[in-house]
Structure 1
Amino acid sequence: MTRLRIRTASRLHFGLLGWGPHVRRQFGGVGLMVEEPGLELAAEPAERFHAAGPLAPRVAALLDRIPDRWTGPTPVRPVRIEVVRAPEEHAGLGVGTQLSLAVARLVLAASGVEEPTLDQLARLSERGRRSGVGLHGFLHGGLIVDGGHATPGDVPPMVSRLDFPEDWSILIVRPPAPSGRHGGDEAAAFAGLPPVPERTSERLCRLVLLDLLSAAAGRDLDAFGAALGEIQREVGAAFAPAQGGVYAGPESESLVAELGRLGLVGAGQSSWGPSLYAFGTPSDDQKRALTARLRDRHDLGPRDVFWTRARNRGAGLATAATPGPA
């Protein structure tokens, strides 16, 4: 018998680039894959599809739909999938997308499909309906820009992918705030948002191409932080009608300002939040001091404040033998 194991990253989403009748390709987006908190799943052959561990009901629902959605020549085989490690959902870290893609990848690998296409993974996982960052990040890692949807339901193309400087440390902070919008609530929020003004969309595209990507490629942390800060302000203003301000709440806005005062750059909110991020190159001692300060001042726990780094590779799939029947 063979046991499969997969480890995938988390996703920071820096912002969408535009939507509305004047935009030829809807949404588009830019984001970064990071090592932590990440997800880890395992799968082994079974007589029927079965899910176990954290988020098992969500995995079970995916497993129920995958056989009907699969159109390849090789039939999918039943597996037992265990979620070994997963962070809390709806915190702005792309857990739903990475979990769904990991489940689809495990099912296909267990059925002998070694190199599924992105279209196949997107169809089975039912992800990528707005942003394609998580889809492409699952396969490739790194700093990613997707080009948006030409038609509803298509897979947005990856128009840029860069290795992100791994010596730039990334601080993740989750303030005490409600979960980010998702599912029907998210769809309703988008339906109620006004179109992004054409000039705003043009400015966001310029900031991403000429400032953000160029700064990352040139390893200029201050320029990267300045560009990301501007992107966050523009995107936040576009989402303000749905979330009540540039950020998900006043605590988030206060924390973003504080992270800047502490010497970090590019502070902002990932997707709908509530998770926040910031970048820097502090020493280990400085990291410990910053972490302790934020936890004490804001009554946050170990899972609410932590450091990570970019993940410049896609999800890792490994095979290990499992004991057979005696």
Structure 2
Amino acid sequence: MQIITPSRLHIALIDLNGSYGRVDGSIGITLENPSLSLTAEETDRDTHVEFSEKNLPQAVTAEYTRKITRAEQNIRRVLGLEQNFCFTVNSTYPTHSGLGSGTQIALATGKLMTEAAGLHLSAVELAKIVGRAGTSGIGTYGFDLGGFIADGGHSKKQKASFMPSSASDPVPPVLLGRYDFPEEWNIVLAIPKNTGLYLSGSAEINVFQTYCPVPKEDVKLLSHIIFMNMIPFLIEKDLEGFSAVLNRIQEIAFNKIEFRLQPPEVSSAMHLMRECGCPGVGLSSLGPTLFGVYDKHDLSVVKELEEKLGDYASFTVTKGQNHGAVLTK
């Protein structure tokens, strides 16, 4: 049994102030590529993880093995499953880079195990078991639904502090809306080669504890431009309007902090991506991956990016994915 899961862009955490009784809230985009491909076969041996890709760095194989093993143990413990599996990772993408690999690895592992046992659980149900979606629900809802996702965060009765998903209780946020991402728009990812700050673990926790709460006025502005500008422009397929809001988001609330933490080369690259023809550019999650949205008919964008930023970053052209993970039995 094989599953291919999407990656995701995390555009913004909406409310890291909490004055009005809720925290978090997120918007983001499900991506066609990069993707995770994972196969599971029952085995008489102990559960183990293999990799079909050759010459992967040891740090990558260790990270994927750790996350698959942790999810497998949680599923086994909570649901009482006894089968052992050989998991084969057929394709990977970078961890701790803002593309949501941790959630996809955990949910993919859980989905394969539960489907093999005849249990048909939703991504929300799986997330509670494998310990995801404690802050953002973009990866969890994208796993099932794809598209552009908006979630409503958590009541402060559920979550009283500002913490990343990895350090929060796995209570998935409420889904506010899911919208198709326009087929006419391409997305280009710029992943730094030799610079950029990759945050995880205690360093990520420290960012939330140091910089939250963010100003209430920023949260008010962010909420307004997301729900009264960005999402309507998305539905109307107004690339110029959507891009203007995306650019504004980078300057306020928690997004402003995320950029401040990155080296100046990341901000410089963002401005160059706009000059190369991406009308809207943002930082995904804490970064360091940048993404640009542009008209798919503009064939000059990637060529210019490679000419001006090829030494700085590697580029992947992708699209929004308007469906969830694909399971093949």
Q: TM-score scaled by structure 2?
A: 0.87
Select 2:154's aligned residue among 114, 134, 149: 149
Deviation at 1:294, TM superposition (A): 4.0
Paired position in structure 2 for 1:207: 225
**1:317 partner amino acid:** L
- 1:1-326 to 2 correspondence within 5 Å? 4-47=1-44, 48-53=46-51, 54=61, 55-70=64-79, 75=81, 77-113=83-119, 115-150=120-155, 151-152=158-159, 153=169, 154-175=171-192, 176-236=194-254, 238-239=256-257, 245=260, 248-283=262-297, 285-296=299-310, 298-300=311-313, 304-319=314-329
Decide whether aligned partners of structure 1 residues 26 and 191 sit closer, same or farther in structure 2, where only a CA change above 3 A counts.
same
What residue number does 2:56 align with? none
Q: In the TM superposition, what whole-angstrom CA distance separates every residue of 1:90-130 from its partner, at most 9, and x where no partner exists? A: 111001111111111111111111x2034421122211111
Residue pair 1:50, 1:79 contacting (<8 A) in 2 also: yes
For residues 21 and 145 of structure 1, the distance between their equivalents in structure 2, rounded to whole angstroms, comes to: 18
Letter in 2 for 1:255: A
For the residues of structure 2 that align with 1:271 and 1:249, how far apart are their CA atoms? 15
CA distance in 1, matches of 2:5, 2:138: 14
Shift of 1:131: 0.7
Residues 288/181 of structure 1: CA separation in 2 closer, same or farther (3 Å cut): closer
8 Å CA contact 1:41–1:82 kept in 2: the answer is: yes
Structure 2 letter corresponding to 1:217: I
The residue number in structure 1 matching 2:162 is none
Contact conserved, 1:269 with 1:275, CA < 8 A, in 2?
Answer: yes
1: CA distance between counterparts of 2:249 and 2:312? 29
What's the CA shift for 1:275?
0.3
Q: Secondary structure at the match of 2:22?
A: coil
| Cα distance in 2, alignment partners of residues 170 and 92 from structure 1 | 15
Question: Residues 39 and 237 of structure 1: is their aligned pair in 2 closer, same or farther, counting only changes over 3 Å?
Answer: closer
Return closer, same or farther for 1:156/1:224 CA change in 2, 3 Å cut-off: same
* Equivalent-residue separation in structure 2 for 1:64 and 1:20 (angstroms): 35
**How far apart, CA to CA, are the structure 2 residues paired with 1:23 and 1:157?**
16
Structure 1, 184-193 or 9-18: larger mean CA deviation:
184-193
One-letter amino acid matched to 1:225: S
> Secondary structure of 2:281's match?
strand
Structure 1 CA distance, aligned partners of 2:88 and 2:298? 34
Check the 8 A contact 2:191/2:290 in 1, yes or no. yes
What is the aligned length? Answer: 304
Whole-angstrom distance in 2 between the partners of 1:76 and 1:148: 35
Conserved 8 A contact 1:79-1:110: no
> Once the two structures are aligned, what percentage of the paired residues are identical?
28
Structure 1 unaligned runs (5+)?
320-326
Distance in 2 between residues matched to 1:288 and 1:228, nearest whole Å:
20
Contact between 2:127 and 2:172, CA under 8 Å: does it hold in 1?
Answer: yes
How far apart in 1 are the matches of 2:128 and 2:153?
A: 17
Q: Which amino acid aligns with 1:31?
A: G
Q: Which letter maps to 1:57?
A: R
Q: Distance in 1 between matches of 2:39 and 2:10?
A: 26
- Contact 1:166/1:310, CA 8 A, preserved across alignment: yes
Q: In structure 1, what is the Cα distance between the partners aligned to 2:263 and 2:65?
A: 30
Aligned Cα RMSD in Å? Answer: 1.9
Q: Secondary structure at the match of 2:209?
A: helix
Question: Against the structure 1 CA distance between its residues 108 and 237, is the aligned structure 2 distance closer, same or farther, given a 3 Å change threshold?
Answer: closer
Question: Runs of 4+ in structure 1 displaced over 3 angstroms?
Answer: 235-238, 282-285
Q: Which amino acid is the alignment partner of residue 223 of structure 1?
A: G
Residue 180 of structure 1 and its aligned partner are, at CA, apart by: 2.5
Residues in 2 aligned to 1:76 and 1:210: alpha-carbon distance in whole angstroms: 50
How much does 1:179 deviate?
Answer: 4.6
